[in-house]
Structure 1
Amino acid sequence: MFKKIVKIVSIIILVLIVSLYIVFTVFTSPKSDEQVLEAYENSYVKPILTKEKFKEFTYRKIEIKKDTSLSTLVFVHGTIGSLNDFSKYLSDSLLQHKFNMIAYDRIGYNYKDENPVQESIAFEREMLLDIIKDLNKDKVVLVGYSYGGPIALSVKEKVKKIILLAPAVHSKVEPMPWMLNFYKWKLTRWLVPKVWKQASKEKLSHREDLKKFEKEWSNTPNKVVSIHGTSDWIVPYENSKLLQEQFDSNQFQLVDLEKGNHGLVWSNFDFIKEQLLKHAD
């Protein structure tokens, strides 16, 4: 009887693990165009979803374009991430009234993307500059989340404002989660979902890549706002504190989110929205 119970329990646990793995894989994989647009079914202003070219790459961009006299929020996602991370912002009626908005998939994170992540802040900056090249820079607000933070901050062209959300900008406080070993170990790499393999590659190279930029963050001509959760362990709050030390107080503002974590883009939507609205025309 005991053996039968152990066998049944083992089967149940195995089924649960497999089920969780499938759910996790499906939930975190890039969404199809149709799935992306589902988030905007009740949106007052309908978004424009397009395929764009940068160098030899094709990527997706979604845009809320209402009035050229308005400022434009340009969202840059992190690792792992996609343009879908900002769907709640792009579909919000008040933000639509106050801003034009753009979000895009970075290379390696597009739906069914066969291209690898580029593992280069310099490349990502060049791509971002290409996206905003036809916009009035005086009305561009760059919003970089997590890994998207250093991409936005590396832009040296003058824009209206740079807003960082939990930015990963300093190598010495860049954590390397134990789970990365599943990607590093060849015996377990096959278990890692495709998009997480891309995210793992980018994460593993990020620390060294940051060293090329982190001593020169304050060289930007732009005013910078960094919003960071004090309980963030994925990208520690210390990132923004170290960033604050590099800037004069009239150029940099640190907004503390007490007990906030790294999911602030979703869990603290109302707070982030309020901060964004401060930079509308």
Structure 2
Amino acid sequence: MYFLFWNFSTPKSDIKILEKFSGSAVIPQLTYESFRDFNYRKLSIVKDTTLPTIVFVHGTIGSSIDFIEYMKDSALLRNANMISYDRIGYNYRDKNAVQESIAFERDMLHAILQNLNPEKTIVVGYSYGGPIALALQKRVRSIVLLAPAVYSKVEPMPWLLNLYEWKLTRWLVPPIWQEASKEKLSHKHDLQLFENTWKSTPNNVVSIHGTKDRIVPFENSLFLEEQFPKSQFELISIPDAGHGFIWSKFDTIKHYLIKQLD
């Protein structure tokens, strides 16, 4: 079981990723890009430059393949181009550590968006990717947050983090989970630098959140709802859904993404 857990959570090779698109109508272009001397992997599906582009930002732990089902979906493919990328520290065989900085991640996202038409760009941030998307000061078509971890006061600290913090047990933690643990442990403090400025974003924001989320509590989105005028922010609650709802509630999430494309 331990080996299966290690193998399942380890970032996948380029070949394994492209195999996951077997049978899909469109195969993404897989490239390696650079930002501040870091290399990262990016999946791009760009069929028609007149279409909007959805840019996905993964959470902790996570990778570009978190959104494969969306990038394979025929309805989304008809209506949008799509981009997903591995954040630093989460690439396949990545020797770089996570940066533990929302500011760094925001700047990297800004660089990824620089050649896209902002009026046709929708940024989707899941979990830890939520504050990265929300910190973006560049105007885009809209920001969609999926279970965003944006409020330090309700940030849970799971007991299993102790396995990473204790030096005697750290070796038991798979490398990718060690990186995720570092990011998780620093996230609460990092959020305090941003959480009172979320409302300064120039963008319209939609936050979709499961009411039974124990990893990133629903209170995160309620906190955001208090920060914004109703004309700028929409909260969509998914009853009884947990943190994995981007997979378990795929059709529901897809429905709201397609609404952003209208």
1:45, distance to aligned residue in structure 2 (A): 1.5
Larger radius of gyration: 1
Residues 49, 60 of structure 1: 8 Å contact kept: yes
Which of residues 172, 182, 199 is equivalent to 1:218? 199
Distance 2:114 2:138 in 1: 10
Q: Does 1:61 align with 2:27?
A: no
Q: Which residue of 1 aligns with 2:101?
A: 120
Distance 1:171 1:200 in 2: 16
**Equivalent pairs: percent with the same residue?**
60
Q: CA RMSD in A?
A: 0.5
1:100-249 pair list within 5 angstroms: 100-249=81-230
Q: Does 1:261 align with 2:237?
A: no
1:21, distance to aligned residue in structure 2 (A): 0.6
User: One-letter code of the match for 2:16?
Assistant: Q
Residues 39, 91 of structure 1: 8 Å contact kept: no
Number of residue pairs the alignment of both structures matches: 262
Q: Which consecutive residues of structure 2, in runs of 5 or more, have no partner in the other structure?
A: none
Secondary structure at the counterpart of residue 245 of structure 1: helix
Distance 2:24 2:231 in 1: 37
1:71, distance to aligned residue in structure 2 (A): 0.6
Task: Answer 1 or 2: which has greater helix percent.
Answer: 1
Distance 1:276 1:223 in 2: 14
How high is the TM-score relative to the length of structure 1?
0.93
Which of residues 23, 30, 39 is equivalent to 2:11? 30
1:113, distance to aligned residue in structure 2 (A): 0.2
1:87-98 pair list within 5 angstroms: 87-98=68-79
Distance 2:172 2:235 in 1: 39
User: One-letter code of the match for 1:192?
Assistant: V
Residues 121, 151 of structure 1: 8 Å contact kept: yes
User: One-letter code of the match for 1:146?
Assistant: S
Q: Which consecutive residues of structure 1, in runs of 5 or more, have no partner in the other structure?
A: 1-19
Distance 1:39 1:275 in 2: 24
